[in-house]
Amino acid sequence: MDLNIIYRLKISSITEKKIVKLFEKIADHLIEKINTGQYGVGSELPPEVQLQKDYDVSRTTVRKAIDLLVEKNMVVRKKGVGLFVAPMLSTQNILEMTGIIKPGIYQHHKKIIKEAYLRQAGLYYSQLLKIKPSELIYYISFLEIAKNSVVKEIFILPLNHFPDFQVSIIKVLSALEITNSGKKKVDKLEQDLQLIVANAELAKQLRCQINEPLFKVSNHYFDINSEPIAIEYKFASNTKYVVDFT
């Protein structure tokens, strides 16, 4: 064999090993940041272009590092949205856990945030959450859209329990994971199921008729000391849900 060819093959092999080692180092560094809380569960990682600049490497190397994180279930890649730290908890929807809907409804779904802002709790929510009326709460409403269904969800999260809350986690975490992302962990859930009729706003958002019957599910989350953590409301057409009491 020609010596020049042998030399080129050796150089190519060495270069390839260096690239592999480099993207693994980048992946390990990002994992360390995740494990130490610099990137919390559900938080968004810098985009590929920024990571390329931060580590002064090629985009190919960055993508290999990210692919490795995805393979290890450390990162969730949402097409057209970004990179997010993967949840450590089960992704099973809370309604599936309690038997209100059958599993599989939320496969291949997307979430569209309609409102997200801080406001005072007021008398009603202060009583439910056992906080002062003047304390701030996050009010977040969004639509969860699957192939054949639309669900409207509203989260009420006290600021003092969720000081580092990021609205972006709504797009990648389940209800239980969102509630567990604050200072307290869920130990108990109280759930109320009501049959209501759609008003004009709900009819438009849920793609149904005004006065059409809807399910309203109220979820009240509590910690181990029975102290309230958060409140969640879900609205959906009864034609999309299957109630199972068995």
What is the model's pLDDT at position 239? 47
What is the model's pLDDT at position 79? 65
**7-48 pLDDT, tens digit each:** 444 444 444 444 457 888 999 999 888 888 788 766 788 888
Name the residue type at position 203: A
What is the model's pLDDT at position 99? 42
What is the model's pLDDT at position 37? 78
DSSP annotation string for 98-142: TTSS-TTTTTT-EEEEEEEEEEE-HHHHHHHHTS-TTSEEEEEEE
CATH number belonging to the domain at 3-85, selected among 1.10.1060.10, 1.10.3720.10, 1.10.10.10, 1.10.468.10: 1.10.10.10
Q: Taking residues 100-115, what's their average pLDDT?
A: 63
**74-88 pLDDT, tens digit each:** 887 766 667 877 755
176 pLDDT tier (thresholds 50, 70, 90): confident
Q: Where are the domains of the chain?
A: 3-85, 94-237
**What's the rounded Cα separation, in Å, for the pair 144 and 188?**
24
**147-166 pLDDT, tens digit each:** 778 899 999 999 999 988 88
Q: What is the CATH number of domain 94-237?
A: 3.40.1410.10
Neighbours of 169 (CB within 10 A): 19
Tokens of 82: 């970004």
What are the E-state strand segments in 40-95? Answer: 75-78, 82-85
What is the model's pLDDT at position 232? 95
**130-142 pLDDT, tens digit each:** 999 999 999 999 9
